[in-house]
Amino acid sequence: MDKLKFLIISDLHSSVGKEHCEDSKLTFNSDGTSGEHGNTFIQYLESLNQDFNFLVCPGDISNKGDVDGFKAGWSFINKIKNDLSIDTLLCVPGNHDHQSRPGTSFSAIHDIKFVTPLFPSESRKSNTHFWGWHWSHIEFDDCNIIKLNSSAYHGLNNEYRHGRVAIETSKQIRHYLESPKFEEKKFNILLCHHHPMKMEQVDSRFDEESMEGGQMLLNELEEADVGPWLIIHGHKHFANLTYGPSQTGEPPVIFSAGSLGANLYPEIENRTCNQFYIIEIDLLKTSSEERLVGKFEAYSWNLMKGWHPSECDHLPHKGGFGLKKSPQNFLQDIEMLLKGSKFLEEVDLKNIQEELDFCTPVEFKKLMKRMEKNSFEIEFIGNKLIQVARS
């Protein structure tokens, strides 16, 4: 196997009946059957005709600690896994899955520990470690997964306002990664609900929701030196792909997943949509280049079009990560190809496009601006170059 494919859904905010319909589109009937939003989502997934190795959900399956909503959402996630014949399901709880707010069910966190199927994994031993220490490890042939409960302290004071990873927890995880119990693989995934880095570009204000201790955690993961990391989180309902801070040339890739079902709050409702994602890791390139290399696809929902390839500027339909080449290197390659030609068409740009497929959206925009500044006329759709010519 030279590639692994992940289907990512986050922040379902599932609810039963009409009690929380103002918060979410993903509602369920009293008998557990899903409404139109859920049904059309599964139908659209099936129409893509893709095979997935993992189904990933970084939390907020429920809405405002509603236990019935959690059970309905958890059943829906398992239905997706079964209907699409996905081998492995990876989940963690979010703040809405915990007893985070006064007035909700007293036993919300207790109930999800005993839900059927088991949550967050099918292993009681792994779940015991997760609920006891707020993290757990799952090993696969090509990757290691660290699940982190960034909502572990919710229910205390004003903890519901943000995530947290204790300093001791970060050090415990590092100690484990450096121990003989841990076998290094081609890459690693940290799955959590809250973002380990502030995302102040989303709301244009100070970000007080991020994970307290997140910077320490990222540092401990890097210091452990066990290979490249992909960090997947939700919570902000705003998709983003970036590289985390690093003291080396191997920064973690941080993927922020938008919401599958929540009605979006005013600051972002005109800038993004309900979304889901596909991430494909290129195992051969990741191993040979010693950095995480892969591609993503983003899909959106709105009233006008239903489910469709993303048209959002901040996370377009297709992109990637792990590119080593600088914009200047690309400009030199294009200059060489243009020698003796007035313009380049799609077929001429094939080799360059194969590398551009691993550009992040920001890297691709930077390259297009650099080309325009250097007197190139360019035509592109999404992250795909169609034609290049000299002005």
Mean local confidence (pLDDT), 349-374: 91
Q: 3-class DSSP state for residue 72?
A: helix
Task: Please state which of the ranges 17-31, 56-70, 125-139, 168-182 shows the lowest mean pLDDT.
Answer: 17-31
Tell me the average pLDDT of the chain.
91
pLDDT of residue 101: 59
Sheet strand arrangement including 143-148: 135-139, 143-148, 187-191, 229-233, 253-256, 240-243
pLDDT band, very low/low/confident/very high, at 143 (cuts 50, 70, 90): very high
pLDDT tens-digit readout, 205-227: 898 999 999 999 999 999 999 99
Q: For residue 15, give the 3-state DSSP assignment.
A: strand
Half-sphere exposure of 36 (CA within 13 A, CB side): 7
Write down the pLDDT at residue 30.
76
Instruction: Specify the pLDDT at position 107.
Output: 62
**pLDDT at residue 129 in the model:** 97
Name the amino acid, one letter, at 270.
N
Q: What percent of the chain has pLDDT over 70?
A: 96
Extract the tokens encoding 85.
């014949």
Give the chain's end-to-end CA distance (angstroms, integer).
Answer: 45
What are the tens digits of pLDDT across the range 238-277? 999 999 998 888 899 999 999 999 999 888 888 899 999 9
Average pLDDT score over residue span 59-86 = 93
CA distance 25 to 245: 35
Residues 26-50 have a mean pLDDT of 89
Q: Residue range 174-187: average pLDDT?
A: 97
Q: Which long-range contacts (CB under 8 A, 24 or more apart) does 114-123 make?
A: 115/70, 115/71, 115/74, 117/74, 117/78, 119/74, 119/91, 119/93, 120/91, 120/92, 120/93, 120/147, 121/89, 121/90, 121/91, 121/147, 122/89
pLDDT of residue 72: 93
Beta strands 294-302; 274-282: pairing state: antiparallel
Burial class, 47, CB count within 10 angstroms (exposed 0-12 / middle 13-18 / buried 19+): exposed
Is the model's pLDDT at 69 over the cut of 60? yes
Q: What is the pTM of this model?
A: 0.95
Q: What mean pLDDT comes out for the span 169-184?
A: 97
